[in-house]
């Protein structure tokens, strides 16, 4: 026979040894009631959800201070009422403006950012024109951070050969980039 423990019995029995089980059980018993209390006071479902969450965090942190001078539900509702009242009172004192109301989301792009974006676009276009082998060498060196010796070992080449291929590929990219940049300026 599965007997349901009272809230107070649950706290006495499980709080010391299984606090998460104790809290979860109490939360499941009272979350909807606390939410409805908050909703009746705030008239805002999102705010009521936030307040309910905050109240249970507060209750969980103070659960060991519950002294059974009243029933757990009375204690919980008292905390709920006081918390909502305090938050409503605080909101009336502080002028709160939604962030969306005060910030303009359409910030003009800075000149540096625009130049950087255009440069990245041109480099990407230049990278697309080189061979896959050339692109792989550059990626190993500059994206993966491999040393010349590691690349040489991977491709079974001499270090001087890898250096020369990287230099030629960089020079080729520089020419392509310069050509693309000049063409884009003329457009």
**pLDDT per position as a tens digit, 50-107:** 999 999 999 888 888 888 888 888 899 989 999 999 998 888 887 655 555 555 555 5
3-state helix, strand, coil in the chain (%, to 5): 80, 0, 20
**pLDDT per position as a tens digit, 128-173:** 778 888 888 887 887 777 889 988 888 898 999 989 998 998 888 7
Could you tell me the pLDDT band of residue 47, with boundaries at 50, 70 and 90? very high
Domains, the chain: 7-95 (1.10.1740.10), 113-186 (1.10.10.10)
Spatial CA neighbour of 139 closest among 153, 124, 122: 124
- Cβ atoms of 25 and 46 closer than 8 Å: no
Whole-prediction pTM: 0.49
- pLDDT of 52 reads 94
Q: What distance in Å separates the CA atoms of residue 117 and residue 137, rounded to the nearest whole number? A: 24
């Amino acid at each position: 026979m599965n007997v349901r423990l009272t809230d107070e019995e649950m706290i006495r029995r499980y709080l010391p040894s299984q606090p998460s089980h104790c809290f979860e059980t109490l939360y499941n018993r009272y979350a909807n009631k606390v939410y409805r209390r908050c909703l009746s006071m705030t008239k805002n479902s999102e705010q009521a959800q936030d307040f309910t969450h905050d109240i249970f965090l507060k209750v969980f942190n103070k659960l060991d201070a519950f002294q059974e001078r009243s029933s757990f539900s009375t204690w919980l509702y008292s905390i709920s009422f006081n918390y909502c009242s305090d938050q409503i009172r605080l909101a009336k004192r502080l002028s709160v403006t939604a962030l969306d109301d005060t910030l303009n989301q359409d910030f003009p792009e800075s000149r540096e950012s625009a130049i950087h974006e255009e440069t990245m676009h041109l480099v990407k276009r230049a990278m697309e024109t080189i061979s896959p082998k050339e692109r792989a060498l550059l990626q190993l060196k500059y994206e993966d951070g491999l040393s010349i010796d590691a690349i040489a070992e991977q491709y079974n080449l001499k270090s001087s050969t890898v250096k020369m291929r990287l230099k030629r590929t960089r020079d080729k990219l520089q020419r392509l980039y310069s050509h693309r940049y000049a063409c884009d300026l003329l457009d």
